Amino acid sequence: PILRGQLHSKPSNGNVTFIPQIRKLAFEFCQAWPTSAPLREVLGLHAETLARENPHVEIVVKKRMYRVPIVRGFYLNDRTKVIGLKKLTRNDVMDKIQLLLDSSGAKIKSLKAQPVQSTTPSTRGIWSGMHVEEPFKI
């Protein structure tokens, strides 16, 4: 007999719930360098709205003295992605932040030659009707 409790599916991404893969965004910039100016503008204007729209993401702002500004994304699969923000405009910085928010954190895989994957194991060797107990009849 099929019980009513067995008719429900287990929660997974895309089925019942959505579990965002990003857990933390870390912004690192220098107060003195002009290459960090677009990131400073974005954080000054949009940091609060970014935090409100993404309550599942921890946002960290860190000083990185005399270095190129970066944004670092930390994901649930214990991977990180780092994007340098040198010579980017304010809109480009927002696009890179959105890219990290939408990303899964998985390694980039080549789409050219993916091997065939099967859920069932295949038989090995060539089948012959001579190697069975009862010979094959046509």
58's tokens: 């921890």
Task: Kindly give the confidence (pLDDT) of every residue in the chain, 138 residues in length, as a single tens digit, with 9 standing for 90 and above.
Answer: 556 555 655 556 666 677 889 999 999 999 999 999 999 999 999 999 999 999 999 999 999 999 999 999 999 999 999 999 999 999 999 999 999 999 988 888 887 776 777 777 666 666 666 667 776 666
What's the pLDDT score for residue 69?
96
In angstroms, the Cα distances linking 51 to 54, 56, 59, 101, 125 are 5, 9, 7, 12, 58
What's the pLDDT score for residue 4?
59
Burial class of 95 by CB neighbour count within 10 A (0 to 12, 13 to 18, 19+): exposed
Report residue 44 CA to chain centroid gap.
26
What's the pLDDT score for residue 27?
97
What's the pLDDT score for residue 5?
56
pTM over 0.75: no
| Dist CA 3 CA 90 (whole Å) | 56
